[in-house]
Amino acid sequence: MSLTPNRSGLHEVRSTNFPSVMELNVGGVFYTTSLNTLTKEPTSLLGQMFTGKGSKTVMRDSKGKFFIDRDGVIFRYILDYLRNQKLILPENFHERERLKQEAEYFNLPAMVASIEALPPPPSHSHRLSVPLSTTAISPSAGIPGYITVSYRGTFAFGRDGLADVKFRKLTRILVCGKVGLCREVFGETLNESRDPDRCNNDRYTARFFLKHNFLEQAFDNLNEANFRCVAAAGSGTACGGSGEPLKPGMDSEENRWNHYNEFVFVRP
């Protein structure tokens, strides 16, 4: 197996001798699967990539994982289809078009046909046409509830204590609350990949997070859904101060202030 580095820092793999257990990096999401699963559909793009029969070059990232530049969250359903040879989706799955696009990219026509054969999701107009007395209250009806938004971040200060150097870094915005409320407020920006099987809108979860790191956008979403902030808490620790040994990867020009913040929103 030969590795050829390119300008992006990835390494092109030119070999047909792939390991039986494959570690993948798909758009930043890591998977472990078998070579047999990836090549179960020989005519698919994955089948051609990992048998060496296709023209598309396989690449490895800096950790040695095989890199595929596609939607990492949706890829779990591509793998499930290859494993089971049938389409299995969670209840209230909201990203059919995105999944269809990925199935078409990976050249899985039978999967595309299965997605197209799914019954259409219930429309908003259909829900309104049903008498209210026989319909359960939906999250879109503005029912009361709580949503907690939290994040861990870093303030970084450059030379002479200037606070405008890499001012705020957020690693991830976490969302806790009733599943239906979270879906209503954050819509397509809600990433459910860490808790993909929590499909019941009436259940609670503490494992959702957002697909972006813009705290103000999350606050705008909550405000538009008539939520109001009723409580907040935060903590912080300074690290890497003058005279202290630097941790690996820390910039010697910066003092950092790590912090964790949590905000509680309510809709009465």
Q: Is 21 inside any structural domain?
A: yes
Sheet hosting strand 11-14, strand order edge to edge: 2-5, 11-14, 58-60, 66-68, 21-26, 29-34
Residue 211: C-alpha distances to residues 71, 72, 170, 172, 178 (Å): 12, 12, 12, 8, 18
10 and 81 in a single domain? The answer is yes
223 and 108 in a single domain? The answer is no
From the CB of residue 150, how many other CB atoms can be counted at a distance below 10 Å? 19
Q: What is the value of pTM for the model shown?
A: 0.47
Q: What is the CATH number of the domain that holds 72?
A: 3.30.710.10
Task: Tell me the pLDDT tens digit for each residue of 80-116.
Answer: 999 999 998 887 788 899 999 999 999 999 999 999 9
Task: Tell me the pLDDT tens digit for each residue of 208-220.
Answer: 999 888 889 999 9
The whole-angstrom separation of Cα 164 and Cα 156 is 8
Q: Which domain holds residue 57?
A: 2-116
82 and 181 in a single domain? The answer is no
173 and 87 in a single domain? The answer is no
17 and 82 in a single domain? The answer is yes
pLDDT at residue 155 above 90? no
> So what's the pLDDT on residue 148?
96
84 and 152 in a single domain? The answer is no
Helix or strand (DSSP H, E) at 36: helix 35-38
The whole-angstrom separation of Cα 48 and Cα 2 is 18
